[in-house]
Structure 1
Amino acid sequence: MLDALTRRLTDPDATVRRLAVLDLPYSDEDDIVPLLLPRLADIDATVRVEAVRALEGYEAPEVVAALAGLLLDPHADVRRAAADVLAELKDSASAAPLLPMLLGGPAAARASAFRAVRSLRSPAAFDPAMQSLRDPETSVRREAVGVLGYLKNPAAVGELAEVAANDPDPEVRRIAIGALGYSSTVSVLPALVRALGDSIWMVREEAAQTIGKLRLSPATAELVQAMADDYWQVRVAAARSLGWLKAHAGLPALVASLTHPVSNLRKEAVIALGEIGDTRAIAPLEASLADPDPDVRKLARLALTAIALAERKTQ
């Protein structure tokens, strides 16, 4: 069996080699790593891609080092596959061979290396990520911001706030806003409030959501204003946050949203009204019991029950 498999792995036909790689995980061979590692240098990119994917879950140093080397592969599909597999690593020690790649080499390799070390939460990646916040390559900045979000180091808050406000790429700004959501300090409030006025709705949506996650009640007025945003997605995030904050000041805007044509917004408004627990919402919620969306009707019943329970506790 092994001899036949070895012959297929070295067959002159790339299709035969690729199919042999695909069969390896299902073979009786206990250790397939020695058979797969040579295929990472196969002349055919499709074989290299499948060999990379077959190595997912293996965290031996020689595997990680070989995959890290493929972040410099000339074929984009191979680089992408290697980055995806490396990003699934769980052992923080696996970050070691990736760290030298964070600040050197082509942008695609640096971005892939940052993405790979992100979930490993290696403190050694902090300084390279901070240095890369001003990288000319957008992909590198995006991944560096993601690393800082995972590391949750308060020393990054000021820089992330600056990126959230001024980076030219809206996706970088959005990710930076999300990264600020891991902070436990109110110093991020000005940056989040400023982001509610960003020209891109996805950034505004992230800011509205993050304000609620951090329970930043001083931004209640700005969240109420966000309930009039042109994009319903931003209104949904603002409604959710008003509920988390139990913001009674949001009652009029939430009640007005109960008749919005987008059911997702109506659902979120109903949930928020239940969380706030204001008895003034009872009549509007009772009207929502006739909503055309069954989920809205169900949530309205739950919200009314929550308000009744909260009222009984105060008596």
Structure 2
Amino acid sequence: MSAFEPFEDFGDIEVIAERLLDQDAAIRRLAVIELAETASPEALPHLITAAGDVSEDVRLQAAIALAEFDGVDAAAGLARLVVDDDHSVAQAAADGLAELKNHEAGDSLLPLLDHASAFVRAAAFRGLKGLRLQHALGPALVALRDGDASVRVQALGTIAYLKLDSTIPSLIAATRDENIEVRAAAVSALTFTTQSAAAEAVATALGDANWQVRAAAAESLGRIGHNSAVEALCRTLSDDYWQVQQKSLGALGKLKANTALHRIILLLESDIPTLRKEAAAALGEIGDHSAEEALAINIDDPDPDVRKTVRWALTRLG
């Protein structure tokens, strides 16, 4: 996992590494940059050494550099930096952990799940998500009761990436969490399944008090693909927030909901160009010829994106 060409000659690694002992932090930071540019595994021990530098600027650069590598050693270095007292350093390390792809890197992340800092626990789950480790499931399910919402959100991501039917009841329960971000994450997490229980829970979330949760629910219903949600989605076409209407239009298009044609056609006259465009796109996806006249009337819409989408939809209708 490196942005650099490993065969390029950036100089002798050991010579560069000697500058990590310089009294000037700026020189040590430049040495870290040069070591990263070598993209050589031989540079990793030196970068890990730099992770313990007294200067936060050098440690920050070390976190950025280690994110360019994958594997156990890089993960161990990033795990060390994610608990750094300097937030910029810790954040850079957390971002690096999220890019790990080597399953063996999980051994460095699992101990962080019991850390006192919610930031660290959330960063660990964020890193574990992409690794799809089965033995991370138990801690993630437990973390759905964590006192910090950010940890619960990241735990949901870890669970969802495993795509296990056995986790559906826990994910459904999370759609009723007290925190808005957790509820939105939960309805998004349920998109891996087509089970009717999941579709019902997400459809219920269309009535959530928060518009962001309603928007997430509408988008998820399009992915789950249950036609039982069509009527509930139609009701959200009159939502107070256009963002919810937009996601509902997209979902109705994916569901080929021709029973929603009349309500979708009405939004071709919306004052909001984005909704006119989404309505045209939905009509094109549904492919019902009875929408052809309504689309043709709007072929000269004042918005160029809407005009383009209307013409695309008419082409879809033949």
Q: Distance in 2 between matches of 1:71 and 1:28?
A: 22
2:5 maps to none
The one of 53, 58, 65 aligned to 2:76: 65
Residues 134, 141 of structure 1: 8 Å contact kept = yes
Residues 57, 89 of structure 1: 8 Å contact kept = no
2:128 maps to 117
Give per-residue Cα distances to partners, 1:4-44, cap 9 Å, x unaligned. 53343211121221122123233597721122111000011
Q: CA deviation at 1:100?
A: 2.2
Residues 99, 124 of structure 1: 8 Å contact kept = no
Change (3 A) 1:291 1:55: same
Residues 208, 214 of structure 2: 8 Å contact kept = yes
Change (3 A) 1:241 1:169: same
Change (3 A) 1:28 1:63: closer
2:244 maps to 234
Structure 1 runs of 4+ aligned residues shifted over 4 Å read 1-4, 27-30
Instruction: Find out whether 1:190 has 2:215 as its counterpart.
Output: no
Instruction: Find out whether 1:108 has 2:119 as its counterpart.
Output: yes
Q: Tell which deviates more after alignment, 128-137 or 180-189.
A: 180-189
Q: How many percent of aligned residue pairs carry the same amino acid?
A: 39
Q: Tell which deviates more after alignment, 193-202 or 22-31.
A: 22-31
2:29 maps to 18
Structure 1 gap segments, 5+ residues each: 309-315
Change (3 A) 1:254 1:60: closer
Structural mapping, 1:107-186, within 5 Å = 107-165=118-176, 167-186=177-196
1:247 maps to 257
Q: Which amino acid aligns with 1:266?
A: R
Residues 277, 309 of structure 2: 8 Å contact kept = yes
Instruction: Find out whether 1:296 has 2:306 as its counterpart.
Output: yes
Q: Distance in 2 between matches of 1:237 and 1:60?
A: 39
Q: Tell which deviates more after alignment, 14-23 or 40-49.
A: 14-23
Q: Distance in 1 between matches of 2:249 and 2:287?
A: 14
The one of 54, 64, 86 aligned to 1:43: 54
Residues 9, 17 of structure 1: 8 Å contact kept = yes
Please report the RMSD computed on the Cα atoms of aligned residues, expressed in angstroms. Answer: 1.8
Q: Tell which deviates more after alignment, 15-24 or 232-241.
A: 15-24
Give per-residue Cα distances to partners, 1:157-202, cap 9 Å, x unaligned. 111111112x122111111110011123111122112110111111
Q: Which amino acid aligns with 2:308?
A: K
Q: Distance in 2 between matches of 1:218 and 1:30?
A: 54
Q: Tell which deviates more after alignment, 194-203 or 66-75.
A: 66-75
Change (3 A) 1:103 1:156: farther
Q: Distance in 2 between matches of 1:103 and 1:35?
A: 28
Q: Which amino acid aligns with 1:85?
A: G
Instruction: Find out whether 1:267 has 2:267 as its counterpart.
Output: no
TM-score normalised by length of structure 1: 0.92
Change (3 A) 1:96 1:28: closer
Report how many aligned residue pairs link the two structures.
Answer: 307
Residues 277, 307 of structure 1: 8 Å contact kept = yes
Change (3 A) 1:7 1:97: closer
Q: Tell which deviates more after alignment, 42-51 or 104-113.
A: 104-113
TM-score normalised by length of structure 2: 0.91
Change (3 A) 1:25 1:199: same
Q: Distance in 2 between matches of 1:221 and 1:282?
A: 23
Give per-residue Cα distances to partners, 1:292-311, cap 9 Å, x unaligned. 11222222122122223xxx
Structural mapping, 1:68-87, within 5 Å = 68-87=79-98
Structure 2 gap segments, 5+ residues each: 1-10
1:313 maps to none
Q: CA deviation at 1:104?
A: 3.9
Q: Which amino acid aligns with 2:256?
A: K
Q: Distance in 2 between matches of 1:27 and 1:133?
A: 41
What secondary structure, in the 3-state scheme, does the structure 2 residue paired with 1:119 have? helix
Q: Which amino acid aligns with 1:294?
A: P
